[in-house]
């Protein structure tokens, strides 16, 4: 997995600098996560959600929630349980991850949570579709995030192992990119080893 971790970090750094490079990394990353899907649950622990939970503590209950880079749906499930009136959409580029997410979804949440295969760089979602968008260990595509998060909505990016997470963007870079796209009210959270960064769409 070391090579995979290095590749994920290299892809993240490259795509955040130059989003057009995503076309070079999309297929190999999809294949990598398809291969990891059957054992993904063994690679994440309870700390995966710690900083995210802190960041969500005072967020008003949303109507629609986007879990981008949902993986096997752990975050989507947690979001649906936290916000019992919300519809949650989990999107991932990996069909293998989405298959696992659908298989693991608790039956009582099936009416409010759905999983879709999709590309975070070009989401099949209307403008301003979500009051809350969450990315956990996920490459941010800033233009798309600005498009789909509703005015007044909240964006949270969490990293389950902080700066050691293979897919990680430093908070100063997040702030720089997001302020240019109409986000403000930035806040950082830490629950060792996890970190999270929160912003509100103006």
Could you tell me if residue 69 is left (phi over 0), alpha (psi between -120 and 50 degrees) or otherwise beta? left
Q: For residues 195 and 162, is the Cβ–Cβ distance under 8 A?
A: yes
pLDDT the model gives residue 53 = 96
pTM of the model: 0.95
Per-domain residue ranges of the chain: 2-201
Q: Classify domain 2-201 by CATH architecture.
A: 3-Layer(aba) Sandwich (3.40)
For the residues of the chain, what is the DSSP string, one character each?
-HHHHHHHHHHHHHHHH-GGGHHHHHHHHHHHHHHHGGGGGGT--GGGGHHHHHHHTTPPPPSEEEEET-TTSHHHHHHHHH-TT-EEEEEES-HHHHHHHHHHS-GGGTTTEEEEE--TTS-SS-TT-EEEEEEES----HHHHHHHEEEEEEEEEEETTGGGSSS---HHHHHHHHHTTTEEEEEEEEETTEEEEEEEE-
pLDDT the model gives residue 42 = 76
- Return per-residue pLDDT of the chain as tens, 202 residues: 448 899 999 999 999 999 999 999 999 999 999 999 988 877 777 788 999 999 999 999 999 999 999 999 999 999 999 999 999 999 999 999 999 999 999 999 999 999 999 999 999 999 999 999 999 999 999 999 999 999 999 999 999 999 999 999 999 999 999 999 999 999 999 999 999 999 999 9
């Amino acid at each position: 997995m070391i090579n995979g971790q290095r590749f994920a970090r290299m892809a993240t750094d490259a795509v955040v600098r130059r989003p057009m490079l995503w076309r070079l990394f999309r297929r190999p990353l999809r294949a990598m996560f398809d291969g990891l899907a059957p054992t993904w649950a063994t690679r994440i622990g309870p700390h995966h959600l710690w900083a995210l939970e802190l960041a969500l503590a005072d967020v008003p209950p949303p109507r629609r929630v986007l879990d981008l880079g949902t993986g096997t749906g752990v975050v989507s499930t947690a979001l649906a349980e936290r916000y019992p009136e919300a519809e949650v959409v989990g999107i991932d580029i990996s069909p293998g991850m989405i298959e696992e997410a659908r298989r693991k979804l608790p039956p009582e949440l099936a009416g409010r949570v759905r999983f879709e295969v999709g590309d975070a760089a070009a989401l099949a979602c209307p403008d301003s579709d979500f009051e809350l968008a969450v990315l956990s260990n996920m490459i941010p595509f800033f233009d798309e995030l600005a498009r789909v998060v509703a005015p007044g909505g909240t964006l949270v990016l969490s990293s389950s192992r902080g700066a050691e997470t293979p897919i990680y963007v430093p908070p100063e870079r997040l702030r720089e990119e997001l302020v240019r796209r109409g986000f403000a009210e930035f806040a950082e959270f830490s629950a060792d080893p996890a970190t999270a960064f929160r912003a509100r769409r103006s």
